[in-house]
Every structure is written in structure tokens, then in C-alpha cells.
Structure 1
Amino acid sequence: MEERWSTEHVLSLAPDAPSQKAAGKLSAPAPWSGTGTDGTALWGECKGSGRTPYRTAIELATPAYQCSCPSRKFPCKHALGLLLLWSGTPAAVPAAEPADWVAEWLKSRQDRAEKRAEKQADPETARRRAARVAAGAAELRLRLADRVRHGLADQSTAGPWEEVAARMVDAQASGLATKVRELDALPQERLLEEYAMLHLLATAATRMEELPAELAATVQTRVGYTVEAAEVLAAGPTVRDRWLVLGSRDTADERLTTRRVWLRGAKTGRQALLLAFGRPGQAPALALPTGHLVEAELAYYPGAHPLRATLGERYGAPEPGPAGPPAGLTVAEAVAGYGTAVADDPWLESRPTVLGDVVPVHAPDGWFLTDGHHTVPVRASAVPEAALWRLAAVSTGRPLTVFGEYGHQGFAPVTAWSAGRHPVGLTNP
């Protein structure tokens, strides 16, 4: 039986509140004709202000959208309205074979995906890229050594790093380019540390064939190699579990909105990070409610400290999770766990962590979480100040369970549980 998305899931895809409102007006059968679904795609024609109805199609797996309307929002109100119709009134979107215009769009998407896969699988293409990445990494090592040789305080010969970042882009090492761009914004006291870690990564990128397979995969990811989710699922193995949604966080820049969703397996205890992306004005497709359980298969991306995963087959809709908070660690256990993870992946900035029985404390020099024995600073730059006061209000001086990311810069809270209450999100408005 086909799994219908919930209304909450559909509305989470909307780029803004006006799009949600407009979609609601198109969620009834009246404006639609020629609707249908084959289980992998939806389509229909929506009556608009002109004589010709707008043709709307949605590929569900990605998801991907196409509409003949002139809207620059993505997905547009017609795509959202069709999804709401399919979700709330299944009989209005009957099973059918795709119309010609839908089949043509789906085939064009499949053809493009196959061409990308063929290009990535070509050994000569892979060899040329590896050579370019190694050459770019070698140049970066020289640039870093030159800056250190002149002294970090000597700015007379040090220009902005943008030129070097552009060279890394040319070398197809986008991950190195991102790290290089961040150097210009760093305070003086952190420069040597970041130079050292970046030099280590560049060195590893020039000696990839000498590294253990898991560490080589980690270096490739951090340098900028990407692996398609379909490839990860096909390579396997997959892990089936009932996954508790610990929390989510959206971050955005001028190019992309990134949604991070953290899970913990009820049986395996494994943690996983799911990533979803949206273009400007487009919400990421993935929407899983915090505190719910999702029975599904996950496949982990390769690496020395596997965490990122891709979502495979789901077995039913998300269900409410346990009444109480998840099991948590002491602050000392969290610090030790991060240390173990860094031994596997030296560039690991932070790892998902649940702290149990901690109290938020506001001091003149910032926010802290304490379990009565040890204290960890809160990385306030990762969460709005209002959310930290909300955390304090939820606590009212009593211990909480708090999920977030712990690393060398402190703890970034994402979700909080107090006794007998639902989880409270601390990141997104």
C-alpha cells in the first residue's frame, strides 16, 4: 500500500508561510483535473487565471517538482496543493499511468542521473580528479607554511585567502576551499590551530592511497568528494531499527538551506545524521518530528567515524516516541566520547550527544550546563539567545535531558526534555 505523507510533512516543504496558505486553497479537488499517481510520482492540471491550466508533476523519492506556472518559489503553491490533495483526499488522485508530459519529464530526470553516474564511475575521470585534488592540496600546504614562516602577526605579506580558495575550487577540492575561506574570519588566537588542522588534511589528501580505507573515505569527504545517496544505499549494508528523532536544525546561506536531523536507534543505540538541502526559497524535503519513532532502514556513508546516513525504506509513518526523555551521559562521559571519536577522525568538530540531568546556568561569561560534578560551556553562537532563556525557563533550576552537539568549542543544544513534558526544540523558530 502506498504511504501517504502527513499534512505536517507537506507543509514543512513550503518555502514560506504565504505558500502554505495559498496551497491550502488548492488542496480540494475542485481546481484539479487529470490527476494521477503511479506510486512514484504525482501529476495533475490546476485551473489558474488563464485559459490553460498549469501542469504540475512531483517525483516523490527525491522529491522533485515541475510546474508550468511562473512562480519562482520552489515548490510552488500548485505542487504543495497537489501534495495536500493526495495526502488528505486519496480518491482525488487515483492510480494511473503517467501522462505523456509527465513520462517525458521523469525520463529526462532518469537520463541525467544515469549520465552523472556514468561520469563518476569512469576510472579515467576519477584518476584525473585525484591528480587535481592532490596538486591543489600540495599548493595549499605551501601557502600555509609560507604564512607560518612569515609569522601570524605579520600581515604585510598576507593577503586575503579568497585567491587560494579559488585555486582549491579549480582543483575540485570544494571542501578545502570552504575551510580556506573561513580563515579570514578567524580571530588571531585560533589561526595556528586551524592552520595545523588544515595542513594535516591537505597532507592526507596528497597521500590518499597510503591511508586505511575508512580514513581515506573520511579525507575524501572533507576534501569535497560527494557520494550519491542511491550509491550508499546500493553498497549497503543497511541498518533497520526504530529510530528516535532526537532533533533537527536548519542553517541557511545565500546558496543553500541545510537541514540536519539526528536519530538514535532504539535497538542498536547507533546515532545517525540525515542531511537534506533546499535551494534559496525552498525548504528541504526531509521532515521528521522530534520525539517520534521512525521504523526505517539507514545506510551509513563510509568513513572512519560513520555518522552521516541516508534514509532507505520506511515501514510506516512516524509514531509518538516514549513518554520519557532518552538516556543521557554525564558531562565527563560526553568529553571522553568526543575524545574517542577524534582519535578516529581528527577533523571532527563535534558529535551528537545526549546529556542527562544537567542544569543550564547563566553566568557573566556565558551559558553553561552542569551535572553537579562537571560543567560544559554552551556554544552560544550556534543557538539564539532567546532559545537559551527558553531552556532556562523549561528547567526552572531543575535537571533536564538535553540533546545537542558537543565538541572542542562547547555544547550546542538542539532539544530539551524535562520530566513529564514533550521535547522542546531550541534551534529553529
Structure 2
Amino acid sequence: MTQQGVRWTADQVLALAPDSASRKAGSGLGTAGPWSGTGSSREGAVWGLCEGGGGLPYRTVVDTADAAGPAYRCSCPSRKFPCKHALGLLLLWSDGEQSMPAGQAPDWAEEWIAGRRRTQGKREADPAGSATGPADPEGARRRAERRAERITSGATELEERLTDLLRSGLASAEQSGYGLWEETAARMVDAQAPGLAARVRELGSIPASGPGWPVRLLEECALLHLLDQGWLHRERLPDALAATVRARVGLPSSAVGPPVRDQWLVLAQYDTPDPKLTTRRIWLHGTTSGRTALLLSYGAAGRAPELSLPVGLALDAELSAHAGAGQQRMSLGEQFAPPVPTGIRPPGVTPTEATARYGETLRRDPWQASVPVTLDAVVPTPAGDSWQLADAEGDTALPLTRLAASRPGLWRLVALSGGAPVRVFGECGHRGFTPLTAWPTGAGEAVRLC
């Protein structure tokens, strides 16, 4: 990207922020005022000194040319990656040559950049050098069998608890409180079935959540029962569906499909925080293959995941698919060049086609909460006390989820549209549509909505 002299946009920089607080703080440092000694190189390095608290400036340097995504180094004590200083520096750089001219990196920045280049060169020259020692297949098999036994025990216990709930009536769920569900979820964690534990915790949030909660609780109980039964009778299932069940209960999966090389357009990136883990979801679209892929990256509590790809760029890379019916998850393999800007947009469908696509996915994976969809020529319009995306050329519409309707990104979408049709990528499910990225009519860059 920077080897060709192309700089990112401000939106692409802010898409790297680990959270909204960092995004706001980084935006405040995106002007020349607090910076000195700034510069950039055509090899992808950006550096500068930012005013600090102890009298000494913070040394900040970013390598934007790493094919795995940008890398950061800052002398500030922040544990966030990128920190606000790195974001501010990149925002200043994105403003163009007049704000940050090309130049020679200072010694402290050059030393770090050269070290990264040497390490990257060694990885490329000896890709097997970082591999671990020979695996123990027999030991791995025994561990897998023991874990499967624990999950079976947990699923059997969960079936008993669901049966007790239905016998005593759904009204008892509201009286029991959240503690009962948390105890059941803890039992599923002990059984090494984190997928079951997560679904049990979701059940605990439904009672007394608003009008119609008994219906929603019964629906989720039915899906959980179906997953339990799928695990307990997995040997009778087709291979693809059995792989989906294993993934849904929480067993790790690995890439099994042949690698697919393509120019992958970065459609969206967002984080889901958890007390112990932050999950980053990155949606990609293969501009040649037409495939939609999901990359997952994880970070410990309080730390952003390492993998970060700016929305709106295209990455020349190989991706390998994971097993499972209706699964979009893939693993990032070899990357042949850093991400570059592109004018390509994903093809769009109508709201009617989007709901049909979700229905088809449910036939293969009944536990799928949503599917990635790009809507073409839709207009955000009010719908009672919420919003919807209406087909500009038809009479159909998709309601927005309650979460989407409360996000600031909704107003960015409304402003981008101005009453005119836009193209919107997001997730379409039984609760509605969650917009993640939008493109204006005609030419224009991607606008991040989450």
C-alpha cells in the first residue's frame, strides 16, 4: 500500500481502534499540534514524537506495510493496540503529504523497523522454523475422547434441566432469577462445552426482558435442545452437520479446505467484548471467487486482538475454509502483499433475497443467528419507534435490530443516504438487520457503521 505511495483514509485508520474511547482519544491527536519530528517512508513506515506527561515525548512508529496488518510501537504505557498516539499519528499521515512529508526515519524508529524486516524475512525464508515439535497423535486422540465424554455428560445434564423447566412452567424462569442459569452455565464450562454455556447464559437474559419473553424463551430452549440432541446423536448426522454441531458446542475447529487465493475486500470489522476474552470478527468478500469469509481473532481481556484489517481495503491472500454446514469461517494463510485501496464493491441483493438467503442457511445450520448480506439500493427510513432499510425499487423492507437502531452508526448511515439509495453490508437474522458498512450511490469510499 504505502510502497505505492497510497495513504489510508481517516475512516480506515479509525477502523483499527480497539474501542470507542481509543477512537475518540486518537481523533484528538490527529492534528499537527502535539506532534514533532513526524515523517513517513515509501516502504510503509510512519513515525513521530507526541507530547507526553513526564516532559519527554512519546516515541511512536507504525509499520503499515506488513501483509499481516499494521504493527505499532509506542513508548507510552498504554496496553491497547493501537494506542491513541498510533491512531493520531496515522490520522495525521492520512491527511496527506502536506501534513506529513516523506523523509528519513530517526535512529530509534529505523532500528525497530529494521528489526521487523529481518524477522519477517526469516519467517518467509524458513516458514517451518517456528513450528512446534512433533505432535503426539495418540495423546491428542485420548484427550479428545475425554473431552467428548465430559461434553456428553454436560449435555445430558442440560437436557434434564430443560425438562424440569418445561414441567414446572416457563413462568418459574422469571421467579428463579439469573443465578440458576449462571450455575447451569458454569456446569457447562466444567464440561468443556463453552458453546453450550454461552447459550445457557443467553437464556438467563430472556425472562422479564419485555413483552413476549415466554415465546422467545421457548424458542431458544428448543434450539438448545436441538443442539443437545445433535451432540448426543452426532454419529447419525451427515459429516458437514456433525462438524457444525461440534463447532456449536464449543470444540475448536481447524481449516480443512484447500486455500483460495483472491483479492479479499475487507467488508467490516468489529469486536465483541467479554469479561475474559475479546472476539474480533472481520468479514471479507472475494472479488473474484465471490465468496464471503469470516476471520476470527481473539485477545485477552482488556487487550485488542492482534489481527486488524482496515475496512475498504483489499488483501491479496489465501484463505482456507473450516468444516461445517453453512459456515463462512476461514483461516488467513499466506499474504502476498499489504492491503491496498480498491474501488470494488460487493454485489448487492434485495431485502426479499436477503431473507431467503437466511432461510436457506437455517436449513443447513439451525443455530445460525444471522448471515452476511449486502443490500443494494436501500433507503434508511423510520418505522414506528425504530428504523428499517426499504427497497428503493420495490415495496419490501428489513427492520433494523434494536442494537443497530441505538448505535451512532445509524445516523452516519442516514446522513450518507440523505434520502437516496445506498449499498449496505451487514448481518441479517431473525431479529432484523445490523448494518456494518455502507457505500454511497456512485463513487465513494466505504463508511464504517460499527
Contact 1:11 1:80 survives alignment (8 Å): no
Q: Match of 1:399, as an amino acid? A: P
1:278 maps onto 2:299 in alignment: yes
* C-alpha separation in 2, matches of 1:128 and 1:279: 27
Change (3 A) 1:120 1:388: farther
The residue that corresponds to 1:185 in the other structure is 205
User: Which deviates the most, 251-260 or 408-417?
Assistant: 251-260
Change (3 A) 1:358 1:70: closer
* C-alpha separation in 2, matches of 1:423 and 1:303: 31
Change (3 A) 1:10 1:277: farther
Q: Match of 2:439, as an amino acid? A: W
* C-alpha separation in 2, matches of 1:61 and 1:208: 40
1:257 maps onto 2:278 in alignment: yes
Q: Structure 1 vs Structure 2: percent identity of aligned residues?
A: 41
Q: Match of 1:167, as an amino acid? A: R
Q: Which residue of the other structure, out of 414, 421, 434, is the alignment partner of 1:392?
A: 414
Q: Match of 2:184, as an amino acid? A: V
Contact 1:12 1:283 survives alignment (8 Å): no
The offset of 1:80, in angstroms, is 7.5
Deviations 1:12-63 (A, max 9, x none): 4778477997xx989999xxxxxxxxxxxxxxxxxxx9xxxxxxxx9x9999
Contact 2:165 2:173 survives alignment (8 Å): no
User: Which deviates the most, 193-202 or 386-395?
Assistant: 386-395
Q: Match of 1:185, as an amino acid? A: S
Q: Match of 1:426, as an amino acid? A: L
The residue that corresponds to 2:183 in the other structure is 163
The offset of 1:284, in angstroms, is 2.0
The residue that corresponds to 1:352 in the other structure is 372
* C-alpha separation in 2, matches of 1:344 and 1:151: 31
Q: Match of 1:179, as an amino acid? A: R
| SS of residue paired to 1:161 | helix
Aligned length, in residue pairs: 380
1:241 maps onto 2:269 in alignment: no
1:142 maps onto 2:160 in alignment: yes
* C-alpha separation in 1, matches of 2:223 and 2:406: 28
> Following superposition of structure 1 onto structure 2, how do residues 29-40 of structure 1 map, counting pairs within 5 Å?
none
Q: Which residue of the other structure, out of 143, 147, 170, is the alignment partner of 1:129?
A: 147
Contact 1:9 1:288 survives alignment (8 Å): no
The residue that corresponds to 1:404 in the other structure is 426
* C-alpha separation in 2, matches of 1:395 and 1:9: 22
The offset of 1:145, in angstroms, is 1.3
* C-alpha separation in 2, matches of 1:199 and 1:333: 30
* C-alpha separation in 2, matches of 1:70 and 1:317: 27
Deviations 1:208-241 (A, max 9, x none): 22221111111111101113xxx52xx4411111
The residue that corresponds to 1:368 in the other structure is 388
The offset of 1:110, in angstroms, is 6.2
Contact 1:214 1:303 survives alignment (8 Å): yes
* C-alpha separation in 2, matches of 1:97 and 1:414: 34
| SS of residue paired to 1:284 | coil
Q: Match of 2:250, as an amino acid? A: G
Change (3 A) 1:277 1:95: closer
* C-alpha separation in 2, matches of 1:357 and 1:141: 46
1:417 maps onto 2:439 in alignment: yes
Q: Which residue of the other structure, out of 174, 192, 203, is the alignment partner of 2:194?
A: 174
Change (3 A) 1:410 1:418: same
Deviations 1:272-311 (A, max 9, x none): 0111222233222222222221111001111111201111
Change (3 A) 1:268 1:26: same
Deviations 1:307-329 (A, max 9, x none): 01111111111122226x43200
* C-alpha separation in 2, matches of 1:389 and 1:70: 34
Question: What are structure 2's unaligned runs of at least 5 residues?
Answer: 40-53, 55-62, 91-103, 120-128, 207-212
| SS of residue paired to 1:165 | helix
The ranges of structure 1 where at least 4 consecutive aligned residues each deviate by more than 6 angstroms after the TM superposition are 6-11, 17-21, 24-29, 60-63, 95-99
| SS of residue paired to 1:154 | helix
* C-alpha separation in 2, matches of 1:335 and 1:135: 37
* C-alpha separation in 2, matches of 1:408 and 1:143: 26
Q: TM-score, normalised by structure 2?
A: 0.72
Contact 2:380 2:388 survives alignment (8 Å): yes
* C-alpha separation in 2, matches of 1:129 and 1:157: 34
The offset of 1:91, in angstroms, is 5.4
